[in-house]
Structure 1
């Protein structure tokens, strides 16, 4: 039996995937936190999830055949599937891509599960690491999140060093 790829897993929708992950991880993190200290356990979980997101960013660049901001912009449908995010694009250029998330069903889901404090760890913390894996020459800025109580999330991706247009993707 071959294991499914991340792309195949995402076919069920990232929102549904995060729901499945959260329903398993929340009780495991609670039990480990009781035994070993919640702050330490959450720090380890955060580090693991960030590392996974970085790897997934590399895989995503491979899957879409490039690592430009245009390539990245073309991947947003994965996170929007199942009406998971409402996005308003503020800027779309080869060297800068900025958008606001005005509705986040991920945040709503974590609240409904009674684990809003885990939402940032299980979802929001992936964003910077994902783009770092996708293209290390892109910087990521976000000053607020719906998960953190703001009215919207403000995402800004900026190309910090020109990626040759003919370059497909870097090898890992």
Structure 2
């Protein structure tokens, strides 16, 4: 497939565009089928997209913690998407905190942080399964949910 006509945009811009489509779509689903079904459909769709992203990024960057750091710094934080502080890193783990999240700011400005958690934050656990099936993510808090930072802790299983 020829992608020569595509315009490069930041990951943040891509997520904002997706959000502007998903928000009214979610509203239409909710009005027609109810809150529960609408959230189930959004969850299934977002999880599928996240798995596809993880596999694509693993192919492009390689499935290592060092490569995951590049994804975080170049894609997620690229274009001003978020401010990231790397806490610790080795072949077996990657620990970082997000101290400012413009993805969260976008959903909070719209008054929809709960939808932001669902369509943005909840991608991370599904993404890591296809990026490297030996890695797992633990995160106890997010800015989207009102915390001062997001605490990402990726660990190799075993």
Shared topology, TM-score over 0.5? yes
- One of 74, 89, 93 as aligned partner of 2:70: 74
Superposition pairs for residues 51-62 of structure 1, below 5 Å?
A: 51-62=48-59
1:115 pairs with 2:112: yes
Residue 108 of structure 1 aligns to a residue whose secondary structure is helix
Paired positions, count = 155
How far, CA to CA, are the matches of 1:116 and 1:159 in structure 2? 30
Per-residue deviation, 1:18: 0.9
SS at match of 2:77: helix
Q: Matches of residues 1-172 of structure 1 in structure 2 within 5 Å?
A: 2=1, 4=3, 11-64=8-61, 66-76=62-72, 77-161=74-158
Between the aligned partners of 1:25 and 1:34, the Cα distance in structure 2 is 14
Q: TM-score, normalised by structure 1?
A: 0.85
TM-score by length of 2: 0.92
SS at 2:100 equivalent: strand
- SS of equivalent to 1:91: strand
